[in-house]
Amino acid sequence: MIRKYILYASVSASLLSLTSCDKDLNNVKKDVLTDATQWASEANADIAVNDVYDQLPDLYGSPETLDHFTDDNDPDHYYSSWKFKGGIIDPASTQYGLCFCAPSVGVADISGHNWPQLYKAIRKCNNTMLQIILNKKNFSDAWYNKRMDELRFNRAFHYSILLQNWGGVPLVLTAQTREDSAALFLKRSTFAETLDFITKTLDTVLNNKYLAVKYNKGNADAGRATLGAALMLKAYMQLVAASPLHNSATYPGGADPNKFVTFGNTDPARWVAAAASFKKFMDDWGGPGKSYDLSPNDSTIWYESNEYNSEVIFDRQYVANVKGSSLEYYGGVVYPLGAYATWGNYNPTQELVDQFFMANGKPITDPTSGYDPQKPYVGREPRFYKWIVYDGAPYKMDWMSGTDTIKTRVGQGLGSSSNEIDRGLNDPSNTGYFFKKKLNPPTRPAQGASGANYIYFRYTEVLLGYAEAQNEAVGPDQSVYDAINKIRARAGLPGLAAGLSQSQMRDAIRQERRVELCFENKRLFDIKRWKIGEQVLTTDLHGMRVENINGMLTYTPVGLSDQTPYKDGKPWSTTIHPHNFVPKIYMQPIPVPTINQNPNLVQNPGY
């Protein structure tokens, strides 16, 4: 078995041995732990530290993902993303978690992305740090220093999610008590102050150098925070801060006099700072022979058998059938080999599919690319065939008895199937596409059945982040080309054309980022920080209708809400898919119950 040492166990649940040679839990009765014995040894204290890691977002544990909120994925009417795409978030609602009731809480129904859950995680960080300090005599200096920096990193990680969703927030930095009203009723910090706390915390971790740069597969500490994770998080938050939504004097969602969402000005130096952090990562730890590098195969990065490969910077661990991932259960082809297997929740839109390049490296919009709208799946780049399931695509996972040919075509002869494009609200795809990126091949779809880890950050993002920040800071110099072309070379594509302007390079970087990071929960925050929601989320998204016309397959992009009568006399789509982005939903509202509890909190603009 693959060794996994940090199984995120609740203090009230079972304990994972940190020296086990497999994924099995060593169950320990917690009634033997008291306040005194909890902190009496490193092994006991690690139970609490591991519980802090358990607060990380469980993004393989729910059928809805952050990508449902974007133009890359068609959402389901059950989920909050359906309301979000209609421009609806209700600040009074606290319907978090999976409810199949189309809640109106925005991204707050995603694990680790609602206000109460994030502050619960921060409270665990603060309380655990306090107890470790109070009981320092029971721990070695090495253990103490490492665990304190791990906790600092975890707290900064949760604040980074708060910053991206709410902007400036109250900075709770100590263990709180009910008697301390001053500590309980904190005011919001500004965007700049919250960012400054995050980056300075990460600088402390980086300067201390108590953590390893990276943990590889088989290391007893694999899954814990590292210096690589700290520098990546710092650089990414600087990238977010430098981007148009926040690096601005105004906010499109409404007046922001308190500077909760923006800096209140535009400063090009913010791009310079982000580029410098990404460059430091590349110079110190990135590339051949160093701790981090691009994994040779861009399909196996997420496989359980390939955990902690050279590309992985920070992840969350899963253990099959104990605390497992449900990705394969919620996504993928619904009826492989004609048998129902998955919920089919992750359905690429035509808008995403059109972003994939041709094999010659050119976008399909280039008249010299060779793209044929009536042969849309011929001559595309390798990532398209690895990650997207289209009509006529071969589909084979290790658990399947044979290879299936997936047919999403409309039934008019020519071999339609149960995976036919859906015109209503059933499980098969409304877009005519399924995805297979990140699926763990040996895992037969079932809830919690996969042990493949969720990757929050990988080295590709260092290259993409550097290219974006450097291009904005100084323009498309050779280092920008080098960073992007490394990713393209790994994907089997030629380098970008020479002589691009800054604007052209910006578009090229954004397209490369959208393709390379598709279905990794990155697109939503890119849409936000680039301030392009009004462009990409206000029009109907599309799928591909494949049908038999005069004995031949034809291909017609069709709107997900297209009400044009089809051949059966019924509207093509029986459901209107919402697409009404409003600027205030660039940021989440603070929940009304939280504001009622703390009179010092001020709501986000527009709510």
Rg of the chain over all Cα atoms, to the nearest angstrom: 24
The total domain count for the chain is 1
Let me know: does 322 contact 23? Beta carbons within 8 Å. Answer: yes
Q: What is the SS3 assignment for 599?
A: coil
Average pLDDT for residues 339-354, to the nearest whole number? 96
- Which residue has better confidence, 294 or 414? 294
E strands of 320-432, at which residues? Answer: 388-389, 393-395, 404-406
Summarised one tens digit per residue, pLDDT across range 455-471 is: 999 999 999 999 999 99
Is residue 56 one of the residues assigned to a domain? yes
Q: Give the span between the Cα atoms of 228 and 248, in whole angstroms.
A: 29
How many angstroms separate the Cα of 545 from the Cα of each of 373, 376, 555, 588, 600? 12, 12, 6, 35, 53
Summarised one tens digit per residue, pLDDT across range 484-533 is: 999 999 999 999 999 999 999 999 999 999 999 999 999 999 999 999 99
User: 470 is written with which tokens?
Assistant: 């450097």
List Cβ neighbours of 242 (8 Å cut-off, separation of 6 or more).
270, 271, 273, 274, 469, 472
Q: Give the span between the Cα atoms of 13 and 31, in whole angstroms.
A: 10
Summarised one tens digit per residue, pLDDT across range 50-69 is: 999 999 999 999 999 999 99
pLDDT at 267 over 60: yes
Is residue 146 one of the residues assigned to a domain? yes
Let me know: does 113 contact 166? Beta carbons within 8 Å. Answer: no
Q: What percent of the chain has pLDDT over 90?
A: 88
pLDDT at 303 over 80: yes
pLDDT at 30 over 70: no
Q: How far is CA 347 from the centre of its chain?
A: 16
Is residue 365 one of the residues assigned to a domain? no
pLDDT at 411 over 90: no
User: 39 is written with which tokens?
Assistant: 């902190």
Q: Any bridge partners for residue 549, and if so which?
A: 552
CATH for 68: 1.25.40.390
Beta strands 454-458; 393-395: pairing state: unpaired
218 phi and psi angles, rounded to 5 deg:
95, -15
- Residue among 41, 11, 8, 40 at smallest CA distance from 25: 8
pLDDT at 413 over 70: no
Let me know: does 544 contact 374? Beta carbons within 8 Å. Answer: no
How many angstroms separate the Cα of 96 from the Cα of each of 57, 109, 302, 578? 14, 4, 28, 21
Domain that holds residue 96: 51-291+586-597
Average pLDDT for residues 268-273, to the nearest whole number? 98
Q: 128-138 burial string, b = 16+ CB within 10 Å, else e? A: bbebbeebeee
Let me know: does 324 contact 450? Beta carbons within 8 Å. Answer: yes
Is residue 401 one of the residues assigned to a domain? no
Q: Is the dihedral of CA 89, 91, 95, 101 positive or negative?
A: negative
Q: DSSP label at 97?
A: S
Beta carbons within 10 angstroms of residue 273's beta carbon: 18
Q: Give the span between the Cα atoms of 394 and 390, in whole angstroms.
A: 9
DSSP secondary structure, 47-95, as one string: HHHHHHHTTS--TTSSS--GGGGSSSBPPPTTSHHHHHTTT---TT---
Kindly tell me the burial class for residue 37, based on how many C-beta atoms sit within 10 Å of its own C-beta (0-12, 13-18, 19 or more).
exposed
Q: Among 13-17, 142-146, 164-168, 540-544, whose mean pLDDT is lowest?
A: 13-17
The identity of residue 38, as a single letter, is: Q
Is residue 95 one of the residues assigned to a domain? yes
Q: Give the span between the Cα atoms of 393 and 377, in whole angstroms.
A: 9
Q: Does an H or E element contain 42, and which?
A: helix 42-53
Q: Give the span between the Cα atoms of 591 and 94, in whole angstroms.
A: 7
Is residue 454 one of the residues assigned to a domain? no
Query: In which band, very low, low, confident or very high, does the pLDDT at 412 lie, cut at 50, 70 and 90?
Result: low
How many angstroms separate the Cα of 105 from the Cα of each of 72, 94, 209, 587? 20, 7, 40, 12
Which pTM was predicted? 0.94
The identity of residue 215, as a single letter, is: Y
Question: Residue 224 — left, alpha, or beta (φ > 0 → left; ψ -120 to 50 → alpha)?
Answer: beta
Let me know: does 358 contact 364? Beta carbons within 8 Å. Answer: yes
User: 438 is written with which tokens?
Assistant: 């990140």
What local confidence, expressed as pLDDT, does residue 7 receive?
54
pLDDT at 209 over 80: yes
Query: In which band, very low, low, confident or very high, does the pLDDT at 31 lie, cut at 50, 70 and 90?
Result: low
Q: Please give the mean pLDDT across all residues of the chain.
A: 93
C-alpha torsion 523→524→528→532, nearest 10: 60
What local confidence, expressed as pLDDT, does residue 518 receive?
98
Query: In which band, very low, low, confident or very high, does the pLDDT at 98 lie, cut at 50, 70 and 90?
Result: confident
User: 20 is written with which tokens?
Assistant: 């086990």
Is residue 283 one of the residues assigned to a domain? yes
Beta strands 542-549; 552-559: pairing state: antiparallel
Beta strands 393-395; 388-389: pairing state: unpaired
Is residue 455 one of the residues assigned to a domain? no
